[in-house]
Amino acid sequence: MRTFLIGIALAEVLGLFSCTNDRAVQSVRRTDDPNASVEANLIKLTEAKQKLLVDPFDKAALSIVLTLLNDPNGINRSNAANTLGEVGEKHGEIIAASAVPALIDRLERGDEGDQYSALKALRGFGPHAQLSIPIVKRFLQSPDAQKTWIAAETLGRMKGAAREVVPDLAEVIDKRKEECRDDELNICRFAIQALGNIGPAATEARASLSRLLNNHNLYLRAYAAVALIRIESSGQEAVQVIAKLLRDPNVDVRRRTIWELKDAGKEAKPAESDIRAALRDKDEAVRMAASDLLEHLK
């Protein structure tokens, strides 16, 4: 337990170490002792990460991370996956050829913890994780709710490269929308947001999203309306729903709607006049979000 807690604590400060010891980085080795050298391997992973952030072509540094991704110790595997995800956010295109297949392997052969870490890591690669689509979309049906959320997010971050999963995401929404209550975290929310991220390539899902514009759950209306204008900017029905939601008496509904528009960035342009009207909202959070978003729409 002590080793586990120390490992977690060090994992939270991965970015704070500097690359000062090449020999230490290159001396990483797998161990059959599942509790050995967690702290030392975290330091080596940190050094390897810093090297890869500077030079993603550093094969020795990448090899260290990939080796620990298959370590007998689950903490080492999790930390290695996290490292790949962080480097992937900056240099995904360069390291994807080696990293993505290795993460797919963890999804296929790993335990529950491996799968969770690998899904999160693939999320950082965006469209460069396209090779993982066939297995990631399987997790949309996982009994583990968090895995379904991360799978949807991962697919959404692939943007148009994930067009093939649009029917899968739409099916999830159609089948489970009655389970999605209020503004709770739920698979509907993440699947809808994923479709919005996929954008114009998600045209096939318009019918599923349009059916949500009259849903009893006002938050689902907000997610669906914003996703629809990201998919098709000329959709007036979605803009009208957004306008109503931004005038709703419930401040939480107004906040959620403006925050969803803010996440859409420039793609929120069709609702600009309603966003401008939100500058006069009674709630400071709504006014601030509207002001910030309008700056991006100029």
Residue where one domain finishes, among candidates 104, 121, 149: 104
Same domain as 199, residue 94: no
Residue 285 · residue 255 · CB < 8 Å: yes
- The verdict on 206 and 298 lying in the same domain is yes
294 shares a domain with 173: yes
In-domain check, residue 145: no
The arithmetic mean of pLDDT across residues 159-182, rounded, is 95
**Is the same domain home to 176 and 283?**
yes
CA–CA distance from 168 to each of 14, 127, 215, 254, 282 (Å)? 36, 18, 20, 29, 40
**Is the same domain home to 204 and 83?**
no
CA distances to 90, 192, 251, 256 from 287, rounded to whole Å, are: 32, 25, 12, 12
Task: Say if residues 91 and 124 touch (Cβ distance below 8 Å).
Answer: no
Q: Which domain holds residue 207?
A: 169-298
**Polymer length in residues for the chain:** 298
Residue 288 domain-assigned (yes or no) = yes
* Of 222, 291, 273, nearest in space to 250 by CA: 222
Residue 151 has pLDDT above 60, yes or no: yes
Q: Is residue 258 part of a domain?
A: yes
Mean pLDDT of the chain: 90
Enter the tokens of residue 59: 């094969």
Last residue in a domain, options 104, 124, 149: 104
What are the distances in angstroms from CA 235 to CA 2, 29, 129, 131, 147? 56, 56, 30, 32, 32
41 versus 12: the higher-pLDDT residue is: 41
How confident is the model over 207-241, as pLDDT tens digits?
999 999 999 999 999 999 999 999 999 889 999 99
Sign (positive/negative) of CA torsion 232, 233, 235, 239?
positive
12 has pLDDT over 60: no
